[in-house]
A and B are shown apart, each in its own frame.
Chain A
Amino acid sequence: DGGITQSPKYLFRKEGQNVTLSCEQNLNHDAMYWYRQDPGQGLRLIYYSQIVNDFQKGDIAEGYSVSREKKESFPLTVTSAQKNPTAFYLCASRSGIAEAFFGQGTRLTVV
């Protein structure tokens, strides 16, 4: 079945550590997105990519980095520069002007 897979489902990070969240899709979608969700804030766009080896900053890119080496994969790294990383992270993909499909999310907690 086609879809988007995010891993891990839960992730714990120590202060000062970088962590990478995985997002893989087999829908053959060109565009992929990362969103951060905090209570009462909705979905805020971190980064997005329209094609391989190209990506753009969203509204809250500071403290995050991404890569798009393959069409199927769009990993997000939460760096130590992100001072408040505890949140629910959602990855999505889309083709053309159609709807976006979301992964099941990764809940990141700083310990």
Chain B
Amino acid sequence: QQPVQSPQAVILREGEDAVINCSSSKALYSVHWYRQKHGEAPVFLMILLKGGEQKGHEKISASFNEKKQQSSLYLTASQLSYSGTYFCGFRGSGGGADGLTFGKGTHLIIQP
């Protein structure tokens, strides 16, 4: 079952902030965030592990509420290069390197 992302699309002016949310109906072990430009491969942004460990991009932050099975990605002082589609990916709590399941994506457009 795919994670549910919101909003589906966001249009911002350069310098504004954005929050993208992601939720799951299943217990999670980790949350992954990626950004994809049109026609290109997704690029890793952030990984959040159960227990609080994080690894990721310097200018992008994220949170992971293990009890609610939710994650949010925070983009502050957005730049034109932030435009793209953002995907959250969940790995369940079954352990191992089982399949990452991704949401449908959030389209972010940054205008000058």
Contacts and interface: CB of A to CB of B under 8 A. Distances in A.
Interface of A: 30-31, 33, 35, 40-45, 48, 50, 56, 58-59, 88, 90, 92, 94-105
A35 B102 contact: yes
Nearest to B55: A99
B100 A104 contact: no
Contacts of B91: 97
Contacts of A94: 97, 100
Contacts of B105: 42
Contacts of B44: 99-101
A94 B29 CA distance: 15
16 contacts: A41-B104, A42-B2, A42-B103, A45-B100, A45-B102, A48-B98, A50-B96, A59-B101, A94-B97, A94-B100, A97-B29, A97-B97, A99-B55, A102-B43, A105-B39, A105-B40
A70 B49 CA distance: 29
Given A40-B104, A42-B105, A99-B55, A58 B30 contact: no
Contact of A99 (B47, B103, B104): B47
Contacts of B49: 97
Contact of A45 (B43, B55, B99): B99
A33 B101 CA distance: 11
A100 B100 contact: yes
A108 B99 CA distance: 23
What are the 9 closest A-B residue pairs judged by CB atoms, nearest first?
A31-B97, A42-B104, A102-B41, A43-B102, A99-B44, A48-B99, A45-B99, A42-B105, A50-B97
B98 A56 contact: yes
A103 B29 CA distance: 24
Interface in B31-69: 32, 34, 39-44, 47, 49, 55
A33 B87 CA distance: 16
Contacts of A45: 99-102
Contacts of A48: 98-99
Contacts of B2: 42, 44, 59
A88 B36 CA distance: 13
